[in-house]
């Protein structure tokens, strides 16, 4: 192997390593985005009622559209990732339902402490998932 072939092999290896790093970063970005949007959505939901609840819900819908676009742009097959993060998704959705029921039934509507704690609890599975994924990368 001459010097040019060795340099080309080294460039190819570096390019491959960078591609692997980029692929491992996108789940962290998506989980952080979902956690942040869910935190904002849950926090805002405590203070709004009636048709105004569609405002924070639209944030979550826009984030879901962005997640789909971003995953598609990364040229990945999401089936494996949905299975991998199904625990975070399931836990986040169950905590969302429990939080909304607790706020509604207990009459905690408009309480900022409840909004802050509840939003943090609902967003926690996504933020923990992002942390775990970032440590694995």
Q: Give the residue with greater pLDDT, 54 vs 126.
A: 126
Q: Give the residue with greater pLDDT, 84 vs 99.
A: 99
CA torsion sign for 8, 11, 15, 20 is positive
Q: Does the pLDDT value for residue 78 go beyond 60?
A: no
What pLDDT is stored for residue 120 in this prediction?
92
Confirm whether 14 is domain-assigned. no
Q: For the chain, give the longest Cα–Cα distance.
A: 76
Confirm whether 17 is domain-assigned. no
List, for residues 17-40, the tens digit of each pLDDT value: 776 666 667 778 888 888 888 888
Say if CB 74 and CB 23 are below 8 A apart.
yes
Distance, in Å, from the CA atom of 84 to the CA atom of 97, rounded to the nearest integer, reads 22
Cα separations (Å) of 59 from 36, 44, 64, 76, 116? 10, 11, 9, 24, 18
For 113, residues 6+ apart whose C-beta sits below 8 A from its C-beta are none
List, for residues 109-127, the tens digit of each pLDDT value: 888 899 899 999 989 988 8
Confirm whether 7 is domain-assigned. no
CA 12, distance to chain mean position in Å, is 32
Confirm whether 15 is domain-assigned. no
Q: Give the residue with greater pLDDT, 110 vs 78.
A: 110
What pLDDT is stored for residue 24 in this prediction?
65
Q: Give the residue with greater pLDDT, 94 vs 57.
A: 94
Confirm whether 122 is domain-assigned. yes
Q: Which domain range does residue 108 map to?
A: 25-136
Domain count, the chain: 1
CB neighbours of residue 87 within 10 Å: 11
């Amino acid at each position: 192997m001459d010097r040019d072939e060795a340099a080309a092999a080294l460039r190819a290896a570096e390019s491959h390593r960078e591609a692997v790093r980029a692929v491992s970063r996108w789940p962290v970005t998506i989980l952080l985005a979902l956690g942040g949007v869910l935190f904002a959505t849950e926090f805002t939901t405590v203070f709004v009622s009636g048709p105004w609840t569609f405002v924070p819900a639209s944030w979550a819908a826009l984030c879901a559209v962005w997640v789909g676009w971003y995953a598609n742009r990364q040229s990945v097959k999401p089936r494996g990732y949905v299975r991998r993060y199904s625990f975070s998704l399931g836990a986040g959705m169950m905590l969302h339902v429990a939080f909304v029921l607790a706020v509604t039934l207990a009459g905690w509507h408009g309480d900022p402490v409840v909004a802050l704690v509840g939003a943090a609890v609902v967003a926690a599975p996504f933020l923990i998932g992002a942390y775990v994924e970032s440590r694995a990368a």
